[in-house]
Structure 1
Amino acid sequence: MMKENEKIVLDIHDKPSPATWLTLSFQHLFAMFGATILVPFLVKMDPAVALISSGVGTLIFLLITKFQVPAYLGSSFAFIAPLMAAQTGGGPGAAMVGSMFAGAVYALVALIIKGTGHRWILRLMPPVVVGPVIIVIGLSLAGTAVGMATNNPAGEYSLLHFSAALITLAVTIICSIYFKGFFNLIPVLIGIFTGYLYALAIGIVDFSKVAQARWLQAPNFTIPFVDYQPQFSWQILLLMAPVALVTLSEHIGHQMVLSNVVGRDLVQKPGLHRSIMGDGLATFAAALIGGPPNTTYGENIGVLAITRVYSVFVLGGAAVLAITFGFIGKISALISSIPTPVMGGVSILLFGIIASSGLRMLIDSQIDLGDKRNLIISSVILVIGIGGAVIKIGQNFELHGMALAAIIGVILNMVLPGNEPDAESKVENETEKKSAVS
């Protein structure tokens, strides 16, 4: 828990003065901004919708947790590959239905945890399973990041465009290593801003949509029964649901870290079932308007730790600002004008960090890969996930890539000798370590 000599600046239910409130809320907005708009950029969704859905999702989360958990929810990186696959197979509507499935999985797990406790999910998804799956999440997107960084709009290699990616990547790395304090929390935002200026200097930025956009403008929402007819699909369910199990493990890790930061056991009160339900309803709400699935953001937990400002009013203010920005057409168009190579440069680092965080989980959890059981589970997950293995039955049933790898990993963990009940406490302790996946 928090050290006694660390003075709380604003506690969870403290309300700051209006000027301070606005400043602190903007700080959280900046911390989540770069990662939140990157996800819709990659999966061809409207970044403005992602901003709105993150704000709405955060307000839902705060409400469900009885305003006792200071957390911000943004776009989840874990769902990028499944969303792309869903869009390829069935268009934007299929991706949104898949996100609804993910939200429903969260809600179902929350109800089960309320009745049975949370240890069972830690045994179902221990570090030896979650770590390799997280590695798969990062590495399966490596080709996408490199393609974005090196290609021009026509899909052809361009050294000019690649230079924008390299500048963006270099600045982001420099900020991460050498900057201190608040600026150390927003290296992605600084990298994108610098890369954008460089792209502007070399003439690869198109301002036409910015000029055409109105100041107040409704984003491109994707509404069920208006823009598409929702249809149940086993393929989409099996594509998205296993990823939800992985992000649930991440969610538990975030709540334990957040408990240490604020000096309260948030897993017990208001309860893990409430935070998971809030996350699930936020994801479901995002799907209803065409936004990507949401997840609690480690970046904003970092802001809480540094500033020692834990006020839920500040997090709620950041959510309101995000919703407001989503309806300002000029800002939305400006975000959309960011050249693909700039986002590609950031993606090279972020996707690599995701993969490395999976490796870090294995190391921090002291997973012995000299043990044949651990070696087999991690090896099978990595090859099936990165190799893109597929199970097809008939025309409508398909299970592939990360989803298949996660399911096989869970099965191997449950059936191979060595999954003793007395390992529960060790698994729970290791889950307290901070997850770097957003």
Structure 2
Amino acid sequence: MPLWSLHGNGRTVEPGKVVAPGERLNWPATIAIGAQHVIAMFGATFLVPVLTGFPVSTTLLFSGIGTILFLLITRNKLPSYLGSSFAFIAPVTAATASAGMGSALAGIVAVGVLLAAVGFIVQFAGLGWIDRLMPPVVAGAIVALIGFNLAPVAWTNFQQQPTTATITLAAVVLFSVLFRGFLGRISIFLGVIVGYAAALIFQEVDFTAVAEAAWLGFPEFHIADFGKPGTWSAIAMFLPVVLVLIAENVGHVRGVATMTDPSANEHTGRALIADGAATTLAGFFGGSGTTTYGENIGVMAATRVYSTAAYWVAGIVAILLAMSPKIGAIFNSIPPGVLGGVTTALYGLIGIIGIKIWVDNRVDFSRPVNQYTGAVALVIAIAGFTMQWGDFQLGAIVVGSAAALLIYHLGNAIARWRRTGADDGGPIPAVGPLGGDPVG
């Protein structure tokens, strides 16, 4: 029995239909769509290692391997590309600066293992406990604080080459506003190209490493180091990323289920296990942590092709691209001004995604417990709060995430206790600081 049945005539998508995960168009069309998925993921996937100092070729390699691993673990029933997750940028940057790349990789491995463990639990127990642990107000706060915590990094790069950075930022914004569909979804990639061209004109690009790099060769591997001093403090900074990856994977599966077959939701646990396995493998050998990609979801929505065959093509192409050190050197030559411009938009967008979770779920900010859940977490992240005991340090992301979880759950526990009238037989009215309703 073939892995994929042929959809219709194999050349076009029938009116009102979609190409299901177990179907495919003819191979030329499938290869073309797979190549389009590579283009869609490329801008974001290469940007993460460039920003964190990881080898680009290694990240591409494990992105491709991770995608194929995802398809195998989900039994070829969930179409997805696993690209570099932006949620790792902040903890990787902090961990690399304080304890080195080996410790940062250990943090990525820890996230992967924990995510896979959550996947096994979801596979047997369902998703209800995640919804209770991380309701929209908490999920939005954690996603938002990861983006806003990176604001000083963007400014550091921006001010080194402000003219190039401004051109890059303007290009990203213009492309996203002017274009719809596929071009709009790759506006960050297009902005990098425009910024790089400006940097070439201003003679800000150093091609020395590009000239010395070979056209063909294996990527550069690094090994996760769990024994280095400071590693366990670094790992703590990564743990909130698990919550982001859960939200991204669950959202991806639900999106596919809506467009194809509701039974796809049954594979949510496997999706989490697969992403966890891919992230663990990447972390052990020098790649960035992975996640499902919104860019590729957009390609599926535009083409109505949800065939997993296209993702096998995309994964194989990514692996082949990783075998060229010269390609990696070209991306590593991107100057600070371009990075500063693009990350000003990118980090802000990560924050806005968190706020969008609040809006989409109609979070009631007239409730003080919701107000403080978001407010305290964001200020901790933006200001860079830390907590330290001897050599063990918790960074702003983990402190802010812990604050969001603690404030929400403790606040609601108190509200429930007050509603029982445990103090004097009845609840005490309270007015929120922004003129809202009583707590609870």
Q: What range is the shorter-chain TM-score in?
A: 0.7 to 0.9
Q: Structure 2 vs 1, CA of residues 238 and 263 (structure 1 numbering), >3 Å: closer, same or farther? A: same
- CA separation in 2, counterparts of 1:372 and 1:54? 42
Per the alignment, in what secondary structure is the counterpart of residue 246 of structure 2?
A: helix
The answer to whether the 8 A contact 2:99-2:228 is kept is no
Partner of 1:404: 399
- Say if 2:52 is the partner of 1:52: no
Per the alignment, in what secondary structure is the counterpart of residue 291 of structure 2?
A: strand
- CA separation in 2, counterparts of 1:337 and 1:384? 33
Q: How far does residue 11 in structure 1 lie from its aligned partner after superposition?
A: 2.5
Per the alignment, in what secondary structure is the counterpart of residue 144 of structure 1?
A: helix
- CA separation in 1, counterparts of 2:64 and 2:263? 25
What is the aligned-residue RMSD (CA, Å)?
A: 1.9
Per the alignment, in what secondary structure is the counterpart of residue 263 of structure 2?
A: coil
Over residues 79-115 of structure 1, what are the superposed CA-to-partner deviations in whole Å (9 max), with x where a residue is unaligned?
1111112112221110111111000111111122122
- Say if 2:27 is the partner of 1:31: no
* TM-score, scaled relative to structure 2: 0.87
Partner of 1:276: 272
Q: Which has the larger radius of gyration?
A: 2
- Contiguous gaps of at least 5 residues in structure 2: 1-13, 417-440
The answer to whether the 8 A contact 2:143-2:353 is kept is yes
- Structure 1 residues 186-335: aligned runs within 5 Å: 186-224=186-224, 230=227, 233-268=231-266, 271-335=267-331
- Structure 1 residues 175-186: aligned runs within 5 Å: 175-186=175-186
- CA separation in 2, counterparts of 1:12 and 1:110? 21
Per the alignment, in what secondary structure is the counterpart of residue 38 of structure 1?
A: helix
The answer to whether the 8 A contact 1:137-1:354 is kept is yes
**Which amino acid counterpart does residue 180 of structure 2 have in structure 1?**
K
Q: Structure 2 vs 1, CA of residues 211 and 258 (structure 1 numbering), >3 Å: closer, same or farther? A: same
**Which amino acid counterpart does residue 135 of structure 1 have in structure 2?**
A
Identity, in percent, stands at 37
- CA separation in 2, counterparts of 1:382 and 1:360? 15
Selected match of 2:111 from 56, 79, 102: 102
- Say if 2:146 is the partner of 1:149: no
- CA separation in 2, counterparts of 1:64 and 1:231? 32
Per the alignment, in what secondary structure is the counterpart of residue 266 of structure 1?
A: helix
Q: How far does residue 5 in structure 1 lie from its aligned partner after superposition?
A: 6.1
Partner of 1:155: none
Q: How far does residue 409 in structure 1 lie from its aligned partner after superposition?
A: 1.6
- CA separation in 1, counterparts of 2:355 and 2:127? 24
**Which amino acid counterpart does residue 403 of structure 1 have in structure 2?**
V
Q: How far does residue 230 in structure 1 lie from its aligned partner after superposition?
A: 4.6
- CA separation in 1, counterparts of 2:182 and 2:370? 39
Over residues 349-377 of structure 1, what are the superposed CA-to-partner deviations in whole Å (9 max), with x where a residue is unaligned?
11111111211211221112121111121
- CA separation in 2, counterparts of 1:307 and 1:181? 10
Q: Structure 2 vs 1, CA of residues 391 and 180 (structure 1 numbering), >3 Å: closer, same or farther? A: closer
List structure 1 runs of 4+ shifted beyond 6 angstroms: none
- CA separation in 2, counterparts of 1:30 and 1:344? 22
- CA separation in 2, counterparts of 1:362 and 1:181? 25
- CA separation in 2, counterparts of 1:340 and 1:258? 37
Per the alignment, in what secondary structure is the counterpart of residue 87 of structure 1?
A: helix
Q: How far does residue 146 in structure 1 lie from its aligned partner after superposition?
A: 2.0
- CA separation in 2, counterparts of 1:335 and 1:17? 34
* TM-score, scaled relative to structure 1: 0.87
**Which amino acid counterpart does residue 119 of structure 1 have in structure 2?**
G
Per the alignment, in what secondary structure is the counterpart of residue 205 of structure 1?
A: coil
Q: How far does residue 178 in structure 1 lie from its aligned partner after superposition?
A: 1.5
The answer to whether the 8 A contact 2:380-2:399 is kept is yes
The answer to whether the 8 A contact 1:93-1:230 is kept is no
Q: How far does residue 231 in structure 1 lie from its aligned partner after superposition?
A: 5.3
